[in-house]
């Protein structure tokens, strides 16, 4: 290399400005590593930081209503069903599949939970067990259609979900299901102690179990391997036809749990309940893929995303926003989440390529 006066400089020598400052000029590879570390930190914990920041902002602007115990308990309790459904759709997404039936089945699940008690006098534990069993059967059907028949998961689960919605309409006859229920069933949706709503505790338990499964068990690694590249996974002995149905079964069971809690909360069965949960559930799962484990769906990212959406919608409603702000915001966030996931994947690929190039230069 030559300087501005044509004098030859030795390679690797620091520039005069860096010598004058007494500091060595960082190598390009160091800057790449710093950039990569900063980006990883931002993408990993950025969503959680936004959640905390917005909660503080809304608390400061509405100190008499937003940070109250009643509002916090309402947020946690009301979002328990959405969080469970987001975890339900997240499980098939880990293997690259979609389950659109959750929004329809949660409606049938809460109708069956009430109808089996009111119309058939079934004890509430048996009614809940029957609903969970129906979730298992629906999951088996979805898994069979996707892996054995070969129908795309989007079409298959949309079809089964619409069928389930028709069954719910036939069962109710277009009427509401009302009746006296056992106090033990009402207790499903009460507070544990004076702090934690029982649905929120169920969300935590389900989230921990899924976290252990996906992050620390071989079955979870199989799921992610299939989701990343089904053909490569099959070549190393991980059969998609064997493992994908399990994700739909798990989704059905979690959706059934959400339906049980929804029935205990509403105490009335109606067919219109259910489809409205589908968009928030998918938004939470997809937005959660941009945090904690960026680039792939994960448990804690999903939970944080659901709470973030709930805080934003609640804050906007308390500031006087109209009733339609929730679906508008959820739709916007769904598109944003998908866009962020694509942009993040491209960005991480560029950073990885730059890091590999820098490492190769250092080796030479």
Domain membership of residue 245 (yes or no) is yes
Looking at the predicted structure, is the pLDDT value of residue 251 above 90?
yes
Q: What percent of the chain has pLDDT over 90?
A: 54
- Regarding predicted confidence, which is higher, 46 or 5? 46
Token representation of residue 337? 């989440």
Query: Rounded to an integer, what distance in angstroms lies between the CA atom of residue 336 and that of residue 340?
Result: 6
Looking at the predicted structure, is the pLDDT value of residue 22 above 60?
no
* pLDDT in the model for residue 318: 86
pTM, rounded to two decimals: 0.85
Query: Rounded to an integer, what distance in angstroms lies between the CA atom of residue 216 and that of residue 218?
Result: 7
Task: For residues 243-269, give the mean pLDDT.
Answer: 95
Q: Among 194-203, 246-255, 261-270, 299-308, which is the least confidently predicted range?
A: 194-203
Q: Mind listing the pLDDT tens digit for each residue in 170-179? A: 999 888 998 8
* pLDDT in the model for residue 74: 84
* pLDDT in the model for residue 13: 47
Looking at the predicted structure, is the pLDDT value of residue 273 above 80?
yes
Looking at the predicted structure, is the pLDDT value of residue 252 above 60?
yes
With a CB cutoff of 8 Å and minimum separation 6, the contacts of 189 are 77, 197, 198, 199, 261, 264, 265
Domain membership of residue 292 (yes or no) is no
Domain hosting 141: range is 80-281
Domain membership of residue 168 (yes or no) is yes
- Regarding predicted confidence, which is higher, 267 or 37? 267
Looking at the predicted structure, is the pLDDT value of residue 87 above 90?
yes
Looking at the predicted structure, is the pLDDT value of residue 85 above 70?
yes
Task: For residues 90-114, give the mean pLDDT.
Answer: 96
Structural domains of the chain, count:
1
Looking at the predicted structure, is the pLDDT value of residue 248 above 70?
yes
Domain membership of residue 25 (yes or no) is no
Query: Rounded to an integer, what distance in angstroms lies between the CA atom of residue 199 and that of residue 84?
Result: 9
Q: Which pLDDT band, with edges at 50, 70 and 90, does 183 fall under?
A: confident
Domain membership of residue 37 (yes or no) is no
Q: Which pLDDT band, with edges at 50, 70 and 90, does 7 fall under?
A: very low
Nearest to 138 by CA among 169, 116, 159, 155: 159
Instruction: Please identify which residue in the block is written with the tokens 């690259």.
Output: 96
Domain membership of residue 206 (yes or no) is yes
Measured CA distances, 20 to 1, 17, 275 (Å): 20, 5, 67
Task: For residues 9-24, give the mean pLDDT.
Answer: 46
Q: Mind listing the pLDDT tens digit for each residue in 192-240? A: 766 678 889 999 999 999 999 999 999 999 999 999 899 999 999 999 9
Mean of the per-residue pLDDT values of the chain: 85
Domain membership of residue 60 (yes or no) is no
Q: Which pLDDT band, with edges at 50, 70 and 90, does 358 fall under?
A: low
Domain membership of residue 305 (yes or no) is no
Query: Rounded to an integer, what distance in angstroms lies between the CA atom of residue 126 and that of residue 105?
Result: 19
Helix or strand or coil: residue 191? strand
Task: For residues 265-273, give the mean pLDDT.
Answer: 89
């Amino acid at each position: 290399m030559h300087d501005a006066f044509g004098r030859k400089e030795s390679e690797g020598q620091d520039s005069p400005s860096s010598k004058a400052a007494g500091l060595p000029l960082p190598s390009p590879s160091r800057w790449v590593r710093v950039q990569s570390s900063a980006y990883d930190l931002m993408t990993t914990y950025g969503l959680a930081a936004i959640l905390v920041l917005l909660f503080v902002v809304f608390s400061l602007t509405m100190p008499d209503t937003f940070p109250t115990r009643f509002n916090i308990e309402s947020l946690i309790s009301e979002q328990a069903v959405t969080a469970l459904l987001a975890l339900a759709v997240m499980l098939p997404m880990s293997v690259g599949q979609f389950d659109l039936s959750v929004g329809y089945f949660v409606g049938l699940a809460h109708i069956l939970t009430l109808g089996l008690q009111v119309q058939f006098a079934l004890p509430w534990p048996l009614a809940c067990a029957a609903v969970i069993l129906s979730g298992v059967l629906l999951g088996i059907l979805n898994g069979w259609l996707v892996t054995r028949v070969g129908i795309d998961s989007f079409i298959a689960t949309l079809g089964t979900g619409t069928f389930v919605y028709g069954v719910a309409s036939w069962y109710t006859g277009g009427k509401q299901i009302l009746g006296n229920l056992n106090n033990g069933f009402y207790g499903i949706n009460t507070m544990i102690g004076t702090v934690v709503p029982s649905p929120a505790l169920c969300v935590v338990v389900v989230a921990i179990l899924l976290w252990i499964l996906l992050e620390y068990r071989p079955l979870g690694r199989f799921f992610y391997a299939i989701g990343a590249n089904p053909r490569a996974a099959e070549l190393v002995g991980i059969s998609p036809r064997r493992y994908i149905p399990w994700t739909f079964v798990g989704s059905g069971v979690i959706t059934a749990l959400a339906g049980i809690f929804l029935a205990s909360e509403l105490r009335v069965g109606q067919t219109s309940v259910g489809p409205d949960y589908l968009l928030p559930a998918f938004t939470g799962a997809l937005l959660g893929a941009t945090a904690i484990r960026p680039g792939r769906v994960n448990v804690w990212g999903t939970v944080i995303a659901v709470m973030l959406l709930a805080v934003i919608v609640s804050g906007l409603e308390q500031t006087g926003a109209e009733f339609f702000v929730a679906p508008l915001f959820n739709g916007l966030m769904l598109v944003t989440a998908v866009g962020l996931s694509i942009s993040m994947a491209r960005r991480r690929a560029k950073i990885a390529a730059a890091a590999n190039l820098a490492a190769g230069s250092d080796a030479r």
